[in-house]
Chains A and B, each alone.
Chain A
Amino acid sequence: MKDMDDQPPRTLPIQSATFTNPINAEIRRAAATGIYDIRGGGAKRKVPHFDDLLFLGASVSRYPLEGYRERCDTSVTLGTRFAKKPIELDIPITIAGMSFGALSGPAKEALGRGASAAGTSTTTGDGGMTPEERGHSSKLVYQYLPSRYGMNPNDLRKADAIEIVVGQGAKPGGGGMLLGQKISDRVAEMRTLPKGIDQRSACRHPDWTGPDDLEIKILELREITGWQVPIYVKVGATRPYYDTALAVKAGADVVVMDGMQGGTAATQDVFIEHVGLPTLSCIRPAVQALQDLGVHREVQLVISGGIRTGADAAKALALGADAVAIGTAALVALGDNDPKWEAEYQKLGTTTGAYDDWHEVKTRRA
């Protein structure tokens, strides 16, 4: 007769660090559907980030300012290189470009109101400029994107700055995919496309390739807008030193560098997680490029991708940036992924904080 004590000790079940449950679920999903997964949001994997840096506070060798008593100037001017009317901001935190289509008119209006109250700028996005955001944003940056959806010279002349989007951190070199669920009549009309189709936003500009062409494109945009407003060039972080240097060479007033944690409305998950550099790692090379060309602070650097708090913004500035831009944090502030909606997220088979399939929401969206 065998006693329980005679059983040999057993190993514990160990989850593979390579074939994790989420990875296995993705393999099953891919096998069942045969096509890649499209989602919103930025890279979810852990990458070196601002949390890995700390500030040295004042001490014997440094003198502090009195909190809430002594003045701390947070203003910054963007576009001092060539523009006749640079953008003056009260705070070095701007609202990043998010497409009308991904965001609704009321969301655009809310961002405009909030940014104007805080003395900063908002940015249009793919799909064009809406009256909601122009009307409610005291300073509005108009994106010039590869798709050119809704692009027109009247709106161009209404803009306080122009941002030529070469790429985004979430998908450097990749286009976008606005799935049919989000294409309302108004969105379809603004983009000159049939309603309900899955819209590809092009991955490259239709009428220029490379830095020499970009220089001529910038010349054209300046000639159309009378050299009044700053021209930004936004790049997804991949080769931050050379991309910054080439943007400067092409005549940019401002370089916007977006790291891989940066949000997007929709693209392939594989692109979001496996292409691009973490935000933290691209700031110093970008600053170095500006310094090597002798234009640090003359051509301003705006950093985005995973900026969540004032501490993150301060760390980006300490590393040499002039300002930061926020996308996801602004949406969270609007109520996106708020746990008070947990029951509704559960009905969609997900949970707050993880939800990134915005295109699947048919009723409420940010």
Chain B
Amino acid sequence: MQTYDLEADGLRGLNSALQAQQNATNQTSWEVVNPKGSHAIAVGLDAPIEVTIKGSTGYYCAGMNQQATVKVEGSVGPGVAENMMSGQVIVDGDASQYAGATGHGGLLVIKGNASSRCGISMKGIDIVVHGNIGHMSAFMAQDGNLVVCGDAGDALGDSLYEARLFVRGSVKSLGADCIEKEMRPEHIEILKDLLDRAGSDAKPEEFKRYGSARQLYNFDVDNAAAY
């Protein structure tokens, strides 16, 4: 176990040490103490290492992550795991706006609640939120799965493309072109796997599925009122 004191030794030193880890590294376990809400902690990682952050972080924690598992024993600021490609990011507390924005792959787990625009523009990432999510979540979401064990705020899935949204609780309102869809066996399978990996005991059968009505895919005057 490598321990890094962020307050004493600085952000650049932490990120360059973590980014220098290769696939075959034997320094697979890292602990970051005194994060004190700093921004851009553990960004741009690309090795199968495990990084545990002992406290809360600022913006863009684990941004553009590849392969690594980043655990935050606290809450995270805006844009956690933004543009993640692979690996896992697990947040014990709550997440601020744009959690998992534009993520292409990997799994983001938020044990608390996520704020507005969770999963905005997501492109293949899987996101599981144990609590609730805020308004405008999954705006223009292109691909991947967003699973919400609690409730969703206003305008869920506005201008949605091909991402799948699963919500167990209530949805305050659906955004333009987002509709409830039939839950088929393959969706139950996807949910089961994601809930399992995210450490949630929620039952897949309790969720409703939402997706794109695909009515806004082409630029058409009949859609003018939807914009």
Interface residues, chain A, with chain B CB atoms under 8 Å away: 33-35, 38, 147-148, 151-153, 156-157, 177, 179-180, 191-194, 197-198, 200, 202, 206-208, 213, 216-217, 219-220, 223-227
Contacts and interface: CB of A to CB of B under 8 A. Distances in A.
Nearest to B77: A216
Contacts, number: 102
A231 to B, nearest CB: 13
Question: Main SS of the interface on chain A?
Answer: loop
Contact of B39 (A33, A147, A219): A219
Nearest to A191: B142
Contact of A193 (B97, B142, B219): B142
Contacts of B211: none
Contacts of A198: 217-219
A229 B101 CA distance: 24
B97 to A, nearest CB: 8
B117 interface: yes
Contacts of A226: 16, 19
* 5 closest A-B pairs by CB: A224-B44, A197-B217, A207-B79, A34-B221, A148-B102
Given A153-B85, A213-B59, A223 B12 contact: yes
Nearest to B222: A34
Given A33-B221, A223-B12, A227-B12, A216 B39 contact: yes
Contact of B63 (A35, A197, A206, A220): A220
B224 interface: yes
B48 interface: no
A36 B16 CA distance: 50
B88 interface: no
Contacts of A213: 59, 78
Contact of A224 (B63, B117, B159): B63
A35 B219 contact: yes
A38 B218 CA distance: 13
Contact of B217 (A194, A207, A225): A194
Question: Main SS of the interface on chain B?
Answer: loop
Nearest to A224: B44
B102 A151 contact: yes
B149 interface: no
Nearest to A35: B221
A216 B96 CA distance: 15
B43 interface: yes
A153 B83 contact: yes
Contacts of B117: 206
B98 A207 contact: yes
B209 to A, nearest CB: 19
A177 B83 CA distance: 22
B219 A206 contact: no
Contacts of B142: 191-193
B60 A217 contact: yes
A194 B218 CA distance: 11
Interface in B125-170: 139-140, 142-143, 159, 161-162
Nearest to A34: B221
A191 B140 CA distance: 13
A157 B85 CA distance: 14
A123 B203 CA distance: 49
A151 B83 contact: yes
Given A34-B224, A202-B140, A224-B63, A197 B120 contact: no
A305 B191 CA distance: 50
Contacts of B66: 153
Given A206-B117, A217-B60, A219-B40, 15 more contacts: A34-B224, A35-B224, A148-B121, A153-B44, A153-B64, A197-B218, A200-B140, A206-B102, A206-B120, A206-B121, A207-B60, A213-B78, A216-B59, A220-B63, A223-B12
B176 to A, nearest CB: 12
B64 A224 contact: yes
B46 A153 contact: yes
